[in-house]
Structure 1
Amino acid sequence: MTAMATTTETKAFHLEMRNVYFSVQRVSGYRATRFLQLVDRIGGLEAAKRLLSAGDISNGLTELCLKGCLQHSMECLVLDKKWRHLFTDDQLATAQRRLEQLHYRVPA
């Protein structure tokens, strides 16, 4: 169940979403420019919710899979117990399903 995010949580999650971009770039060289632009334009929390509402696995997530960087994905971030309360059960299920489709098991 989604909870109302505090301003502090929203800002912290936004920074974590930006960190998704920079972590991936650092470890793989992949630049998810459109992802970063979306995060900066509408905020990290809203960007995550919008990306989770998209039907299919994104090209960016597929690229992370090919580069062995799924642990740095937005999907892993939203499934982290620190942030789960900010998302609906359906959004969490979507993140989980996408990772499972790419044969990635989220650490417990």
Structure 2
Amino acid sequence: MRSRHQFFRSSGSGHRVGSAARNTAATCSPQSLSGYFWLQHSGIGGTSVGVNNNTDFLRSVTEGIITARSQPIHRGRRQQLWSVDMRIDDGTLVARSQVRLQNIAMPESV
């Protein structure tokens, strides 16, 4: 799965706008979406929630496009473990993340 997030520098101040929210989205979205789609595709169904997230930010990015690629490490009935590499367009690794997801059964009425 590929996810692309664009970062922009705010005009004038030079501060990054919403960098904490965007960093969270960039690191959590690919694993969460991958985990959900795998549950649906595998026939297990339900949804998943993050129980642990560890992200190492290697380089600062103030503008441009970051491409996040998720890879499964473990996918089981109860939990999943996903890794994500985030790179800028020239292929430079800017962050690496690992998240553990808990699989949750959903009631039929939901």
Q: TM-score, normalised by structure 2?
A: 0.32
Give the number of the structure whose residues are more often strand, by fraction.
Answer: 2
Q: TM-score, normalised by structure 1?
A: 0.32
Q: Look at both structures and tell me which one has the larger radius of gyration over its CA atoms.
A: 2
Give the number of the structure whose residues are more often helix, by fraction.
Answer: 1
